[in-house]
Amino acid sequence: MHLKKAIFILTLTICRPAFSGQQTLLDPELSHWDIYLSYEHSPDYNGEVPKDESGKEVKPIGLNPSEGLGVFTMVGKEKSVLRVSGEYYGALTTKEVFENYHLSLDVKWGEKIWPAREGKLKDTGILYHAIGPHGAEYFRSWMLSHEFQIMEGHMGDYWQQANGAIDIKAYQREYIMSPVADLRAGWLGAGEGGEAFVMRSANFESKAGEWTKLELISVGNKSLHIVNGNVVMVLKNPGYVEGGKRIAQEKGRIQLQSEASEVFFRDITIQSIDELPSKYSKLFE
């Protein structure tokens, strides 16, 4: 690398202000976000790149398409609510990288379900500590990250995205049953040759048609999934597996999924914090 280029990059790194205070992440222009869209997946998707009728691989729609295809739009009288149509798989991705924060938002289901999820539960999610290229995982739509699942009856589940790995207070799987988070359980490795999915401890989702409040707290190597004020999952040591080793990854972008289900978000705020609130510290003992 040339010296001038190196100095320029270093200067940008030093001068960029660190995230602090509180930010509201929704505005009519979605100015805090990039849009990435991959495909309108079919019910028989098998993890391979979709092909057209001639057998040629189809390219993903890509980053910040000119029209946005109406997947992520601000609606309501004051354009204060985010509507995610779900028609194409993809994500809103924060332009900023975040660490040590308390993320809070409200979510409510819409009516529309697209073919890829017909006959299934409505589904979306918050992806955090997202790094690397878009489309790194099975659906070729999201970054390497950790998912705070948003699904009917499953608010707060964990899903591994790409080669992410983390430890969760949970009971191991038994026969065909999935592992289940529990504050009294020991630490279960997820994603590192272990479970890619862990269920939340209990269902605290609001009634159909009502808003559910979700909170994601992440400080250092610790994080919490909280639904309507109830901790449903305790996690630590986030990272990713490379060369057989887990590499720590405690910061990254935040993504909101589009996953064949119509969903609405409001009041998305993120607060910088230096330590876990005292009432949650004991959960990591």
Secondary structure of residue 171 in the 3-state scheme: strand
CA distance 283 to 114: 39
| CA–centroid distance for 252 within its chain | 11
- How large is the average pLDDT for residues 133-139? 97
- How large is the average pLDDT for residues 17-30? 88
Q: Please give the pLDDT value at position 17.
A: 56
Residues 6+ apart with CB under 8 A from 14: none
Q: Please give the pLDDT value at position 261.
A: 98
Say if CB 171 and CB 193 are below 8 A apart: no
Q: What is the pLDDT of residues 42-90, one digit of tens each?
A: 999 999 999 999 999 999 999 999 877 999 999 998 999 999 999 999 9
Q: Where are the domains of the chain?
A: 21-43+54-275
Say if CB 91 and CB 54 are below 8 A apart: no
Q: What is the pLDDT of residues 246-277, one digit of tens each?
A: 999 999 999 999 999 999 999 999 999 999 99
Residue 7 has pLDDT above 90, yes or no: no
Superfamily in which the 21-43+54-275 domain is placed by CATH: Exo-inulinase; domain 1 (2.60.120.560)
Residue (of 50, 140, 47) closest to 91 by Cα position: 140
